[in-house]
A and B are shown apart, each in its own frame.
Chain A
Amino acid sequence: MEKSAVFNGKLLPYLLLVPQLIITFVFFYWPASQAVWQSFLREDAFGLRSEFIGLENYQALFAQPEYYAAMLTTLVFSTLVAVLSLSIALLFATQADKNLKAAPVYKTFMIWPYAVAPAVAGVLWFFMFHPSLGTLARPLRWMGFDWNPVLNGNHAMMLVVMAAVWKQISYNFLFFLAGLQSIPKSVIEAGAIDGAGPMRRFWTIVFPLLSPTTFFLLVVNVVYVFFDTFGIIDAVTGGGPAGATTTMVYKVYADGRLGGDLGGSAAQSVVLMVIVIALTAIQFRYVERKVQY
């Protein structure tokens, strides 16, 4: 009864793998190896002179108190963004999953922000919350709240977190909604008949069945906050005030592209790469155990 195809040729499977391997090599391994190589060099901005200096860039990096500050900022920022964007998206998705008349409209509106470029999103939030220009900052001030993200680090952090979360909710929403809709209604109805309330049904039936989606989104979101948020930070705060919103990836961008320090910037991106690989490994090793497929 069992149908299985057996290919005896050794060549064919490898041949079929080749396109994928080439793409992975060209778009990941080659640039990554370039970054590693560059982190051992001292180069001027124009690339006219370069000199091999071994680990000097790394030594300089770890001697900077600002780098540790950026690590801490990254931790705070990524935790806040991942937790908020996942939980808010889940809440919205459960609401959109209900039988509403306007559900399609609602869903379309929810997905739109994803189409906005990070820098545009950043500028949008910047203008809404600029202490003296902002349309939303003025009401805050009238209420007696001394809103000042250009000088208060916590306010600035709130602002970039909001912008980054807002940008990511759509993506998470889409996956959560798809996940919710694939859960068989009969299971939930059975729970309801057994007398479980909505909250209990959600936490004992729905959420466990959503765990593969949640896990996937967790990995994607961590990568998002680590790598894709510098456009938002650049447009909203420029890493300020006083470095309060300078995350590790923003520092890579600021030192390398804006500052012209390519060696130091490359060393930072290598460190960042190692951290993200480690984080992803930990997620797969420990968090994935709790996932029920």
Chain B
Amino acid sequence: MMLRHFGLATTLAATFALASPAHAVTELQWWHAMTGGNNDVVNKLAADFNASQSDYKVVPSFKGGYADTMNAGIAAFRAGNAPHIMQVFEVGTATMMSATGAIKPVYQLMKDAGEPFDPKAYLPTITGYYSTSKGEMLSFPFNSSSTVMWINKDELKKAGIAAIPKTWPEVFDAAKKLKAAGHATCGFSNAWASWVHIEQFSAWHNVPIGTKSNGLDGFDTELKFNSPLHVKHLQNLIDLQKDKTYDYGGRANAGEARFGSGECAIFLTSSGYYGTAKGTAKFDFTSAPMPYYPDVAGAPQNSIIGGASLWVMGGKKPEEYKGVAKFFAFLSDTDRQAKLHQESGYLPITKAAYEKTKASGFYEKNPVLETPLKELTNKEPTANSRGLRFGNMVQMRDLWAEEMEAALAGKKTAKEALDAAVARGNAVLRTFEKTAK
């Protein structure tokens, strides 16, 4: 009897299983590098999209930090198992762009799938980074940020600093006062040293990082960040490092905790640090634009973005691409973007989402979140401040950090370190150029 029931049950199950292909759900793999609160945001976006329709299912998976996620994706591609969507940080852009065949350009994807798509609806300072010189959008902007200066208002007040410093000389001055007022180990500091002091510094002062519009106009580019202005700035940091008026805090974002703990009262890092600052800082803090040298004509110019975008991998089935296109259209929705921006602290990617947030009076209550937007749109971007696109940038950033560390440790002069960083970077660029033909 039992056996017969079992047989019946399996027959029934089989019938249902056979019936279901009419409603087959196409799974779309989404590999990302978001941790903490941002990981929740990613999961919620996927869940909302899956609930909004029944043909596709987006499956997000966390693959480690930005570099890890990119490496995992590349390894998976080599093994023939690439995900559909991969989150890649901004410095991986050139590597992804040159991988013709490995990726499916987003403008092509949207066209093929017949999804409504207007590249002009997105903030140009963001999409410029991910588009060809013809304006074709290659990847879909997801989480974008920029460098801002985080300020511990309580400590500034205690040290008798009336206004938030605007220029580098004012920052140095404030740092000395902070040091005298008890911040013996750190007047000011930063994370992501090469991003802050080379990449953003150059854009903000409208000087080139490299030729060919910082590589946006071709891979045969030469680095240029050993100019007198760059040397002067690094020399200032070297001099201030001696008594810890400036104190280098290590690679990547390792030093960020020094702001949250109150050790450093002035700290330059990503605007994406907002979520963490909100959770950890037990003092009144705000963000301010990056400082500039007032004797540089036209400074400040505008900042460039950081963060990541979503790349669609090549070699997938047309119906899968249809799903990806639907998902991107879903992400572009104004209300959704506005909410995403207000919760995560990353920039809104569409103009409409920015306008909506502005109109709602959100920035009056949360000026912290408007700083990066003001920096990015401070002036019309120039060839030096539109963005950057250098091959093997991940490796290069490490080389640049190495040279800066040598200079700050007193082993090299500012000029020697920057010359070496440029020369070593150029060698990497030449290797990349040969592989990216």
Known A-B contacts A46-B99, A130-B254; the reply to A261 vs B71 at CB < 8 A is no
Tell whether A239 is near chain B: CB-to-CB under 8 Å. yes
Known A-B contacts A48-B99, A260-B394, A261-B395; the reply to A43 vs B435 at CB < 8 A is yes
> Cβ of B409 and Cβ of A46 under 8 Å apart?
no
> Cβ of A45 and Cβ of B74 under 8 Å apart?
yes
The CA-CA distance from A152 to B255 in the complex, in Å, is 16
Can you list, as one digit per residue, whether each of B38-65 has a CB less than 8 Å from chain A (1) or not (0)?
Answer: 0000000000000000000000000000
Closest to A152 in B: B409
Tell whether A200 is near chain B: CB-to-CB under 8 Å. no
For residue B198, give the distance in angstroms from its CB to the closest CB of chain A. Answer: 16
Tell whether A254 is near chain B: CB-to-CB under 8 Å. yes
Tell whether A242 is near chain B: CB-to-CB under 8 Å. yes
For residue A39, give the distance in angstroms from its CB to the closest CB of chain B. Answer: 14
The CA-CA distance from A151 to B255 in the complex, in Å, is 12
Residues in B whose Cβ lies below 8 Å from that of A133: 257-258, 261
Main secondary structure of the interface of B (DSSP, over half): helix
Q: Could you say which of A141, A242, A260 contacts B402, with CB atoms under 8 Å apart?
A: A242
> Cβ of A242 and Cβ of B250 under 8 Å apart?
no
Tell whether B437 is near chain A: CB-to-CB under 8 Å. yes
Residues in B whose Cβ lies below 8 Å from that of A141: 185
> Cβ of B248 and Cβ of A258 under 8 Å apart?
no
Within 8 A of A (CB), among B220-278: 241, 248-252, 254-255, 257-258, 261, 263
> Cβ of B398 and Cβ of A242 under 8 Å apart?
no
For residue B419, give the distance in angstroms from its CB to the closest CB of chain A. Answer: 13
Known A-B contacts A46-B74, A257-B71; the reply to A151 vs B409 at CB < 8 A is yes
Tell whether B113 is near chain A: CB-to-CB under 8 Å. no
> Cβ of B99 and Cβ of A255 under 8 Å apart?
no
Known A-B contacts A44-B98, A240-B251, A242-B402; the reply to A260 vs B409 at CB < 8 A is no
> Residue among B95, B403, B435 with the most chain A CB within 10 A?
B435
Known A-B contacts A238-B251, A240-B251, A257-B71; the reply to A46 vs B398 at CB < 8 A is no
Tell whether A259 is near chain B: CB-to-CB under 8 Å. yes
Known A-B contacts A44-B98, A48-B99, A254-B398; the reply to A260 vs B251 at CB < 8 A is no
Q: Could you say which of B252, B395, B405 contacts A242, with CB atoms under 8 Å apart?
A: B405
Known A-B contacts A44-B435, A132-B249, A151-B248; the reply to A261 vs B261 at CB < 8 A is no
Q: Could you say which of A43, A49, A151 contacts B408, with CB atoms under 8 Å apart?
A: A151
> Cβ of A44 and Cβ of B431 under 8 Å apart?
no
Residues in A whose Cβ lies below 8 Å from that of B251: 150, 238, 240
Q: Could you say which of A42, A48, A259 contacts B394, with CB atoms under 8 Å apart?
A: A259
Tell whether A208 is near chain B: CB-to-CB under 8 Å. no
Within 8 A of A (CB), among B403-437: 403, 405-406, 408-409, 411, 424, 427-428, 431, 434-437
Residues in B whose Cβ lies below 8 Å from that of A259: 392, 394-395, 398, 428
Can you list, as one digit per residue, whether each of A241-279 has a CB less than 8 Å from chain B (1) or not (0)?
Answer: 111000000000011011111001000000000000000
> Cβ of B77 and Cβ of A46 under 8 Å apart?
yes
Interface residues on A, range: 20 to 34
> Cβ of B74 and Cβ of A260 under 8 Å apart?
yes
The CA-CA distance from A141 to B247 in the complex, in Å, is 15
> Cβ of A132 and Cβ of B257 under 8 Å apart?
yes
Known A-B contacts A45-B99, A151-B248, A243-B402; the reply to A261 vs B409 at CB < 8 A is no
Residues in B whose Cβ lies below 8 Å from that of A254: 395, 398
For residue A259, give the distance in angstroms from its CB to the closest CB of chain B. Answer: 3
Can you list, as one digit per residue, whether each of A31-69 has a CB less than 8 Å from chain B (1) or not (0)?
Answer: 000000000001111111101000000001000001000
Within 8 A of B (CB), among A198-234: none
Residues in A whose Cβ lies below 8 Å from that of B252: 238
Tell whether B102 is near chain A: CB-to-CB under 8 Å. yes
> Cβ of A239 and Cβ of B437 under 8 Å apart?
no
For residue B17, give the distance in angstroms from its CB to the closest CB of chain A. Answer: 38
Q: Could you say which of A42, A49, A242 contacts B409, with CB atoms under 8 Å apart?
A: A242
Known A-B contacts A132-B249, A132-B261, A150-B250; the reply to A46 vs B102 at CB < 8 A is yes
> Cβ of A260 and Cβ of B395 under 8 Å apart?
yes
Residues in B whose Cβ lies below 8 Å from that of A241: 402, 405-406, 409
> Cβ of B74 and Cβ of A242 under 8 Å apart?
no
Tell whether A153 is near chain B: CB-to-CB under 8 Å. yes
Tell whether B67 is near chain A: CB-to-CB under 8 Å. yes
> Cβ of A240 and Cβ of B402 under 8 Å apart?
yes
The CA-CA distance from A261 to B399 in the complex, in Å, is 14
The CA-CA distance from A45 to B261 in the complex, in Å, is 40
Closest to A260 in B: B392
For residue B396, give the distance in angstroms from its CB to the closest CB of chain A. Answer: 8
> Cβ of A132 and Cβ of B263 under 8 Å apart?
yes
Tell whether B401 is near chain A: CB-to-CB under 8 Å. yes
Can you list, as one digit per residue, whether each of A118-133 has a CB less than 8 Å from chain B (1) or not (0)?
Answer: 0000000000001011
> Cβ of A258 and Cβ of B71 under 8 Å apart?
yes
> Cβ of A49 and Cβ of B185 under 8 Å apart?
no
Residues in A whose Cβ lies below 8 Å from that of B185: 132, 141
The CA-CA distance from A264 to B434 in the complex, in Å, is 13
Can you list, as one digit per residue, whether each of B261-298 has a CB less than 8 Å from chain A (1) or not (0)?
Answer: 10100000000000000000000000000000000000
Residues in B whose Cβ lies below 8 Å from that of A258: 67, 71, 394-395, 398
Can you list, as one digit per residue, whether each of A190-202 has a CB less than 8 Å from chain B (1) or not (0)?
Answer: 0000000000000
For residue B245, give the distance in angstroms from its CB to the closest CB of chain A. Answer: 14
For residue A41, give the distance in angstroms from its CB to the closest CB of chain B. Answer: 10
> Cβ of B405 and Cβ of A240 under 8 Å apart?
yes
Tell whether B101 is near chain A: CB-to-CB under 8 Å. yes
Residues in B whose Cβ lies below 8 Å from that of A255: 395
Q: Could you say which of B78, B241, B263, B411 contacts A46, with CB atoms under 8 Å apart?
A: B78
Can you list, as one digit per residue, whether each of B69-89 has a CB less than 8 Å from chain A (1) or not (0)?
Answer: 001001001100000000000
Residues in B whose Cβ lies below 8 Å from that of A260: 74, 95, 392, 394-395
Within 8 A of B (CB), among A81-133: 130, 132-133
Closest to B403 in A: A242
Tell whether B35 is near chain A: CB-to-CB under 8 Å. no
Closest to A262 in B: B435
Tell whether B100 is near chain A: CB-to-CB under 8 Å. yes
13 chain-A/chain-B pairs, Cβ below 8 angstroms = A43-B435, A44-B98, A48-B99, A141-B185, A150-B405, A239-B398, A240-B250, A243-B402, A243-B406, A254-B395, A257-B71, A259-B394, A264-B431
Which 8 interchain pairs have the tightest Cβ spacing?
A259-B395, A242-B406, A241-B405, A150-B250, A44-B435, A242-B405, A46-B102, A46-B99
